[in-house]
Structure 1
Amino acid sequence: MARNEEKAQSMLNRFVTMKESEKKKKPLQRRPYLASECRDLADADKWRHQITREISRKVAEIQNEGLGEHRLRDLNDEINKILREREMALGETDR
């Protein structure tokens, strides 16, 4: 059986302790319903990136040829809603 010092240096043990310390740092935050409620610049930038990723994912899904018309229209409406939120609340002007 390995000594305690060897156990402490194992890669798995270091990984587990790193993950536990990350959990203790800060709980996950949810994006505010209205981005205008965000008052911290770092958080606003994080939410802007998240919105951009969400738009990209939905645009890629729209390009699927096998998608039904109802789903296509729903995705388009969702993208337009997100774009309006991004432009108004975060001051984004480029497309």
Structure 2
Amino acid sequence: MARNEEKAQSMLNRYITAKNEENKKPKERRPFLTSECRDLSDADKWRQQIMREIEEEDVVEEERKVKEEENQKEQEFVVHVPLPDEREIEKMVLARRRSRSC
């Protein structure tokens, strides 16, 4: 009985390792032209990879657009307060000193 369980476990391990290797990045390069692919399973694998890449690009592009819109909305309500330059600051300091000394 133990032997059958061991066989089943080893078959499961082989299945899992095969699935994991299938999900890894392909070792060979993806064919540039679809006509170069002769195996249906390879063609399906490349198709799925291309679809994932397109979806990822769409998500990134959508996130970029949302961030742009948020930045534009934030910029609309920003109030610009002009800061005094050094001469104005010196004048203020001198005026304050004069008012304190009197």
Same fold, judged at TM 0.5 (above): no
Question: In proportion to residue count, which structure has more helix?
Answer: 2
Give the TM-score range, shorter chain. 0.3 to 0.5
TM-score (norm 1): 0.38
- Work out which of the two has the higher radius of gyration on C-alpha atoms and give 1 or 2: 2
Higher relative contact order (CA 8 A, sep 6+): 1
TM-score (norm 2): 0.36
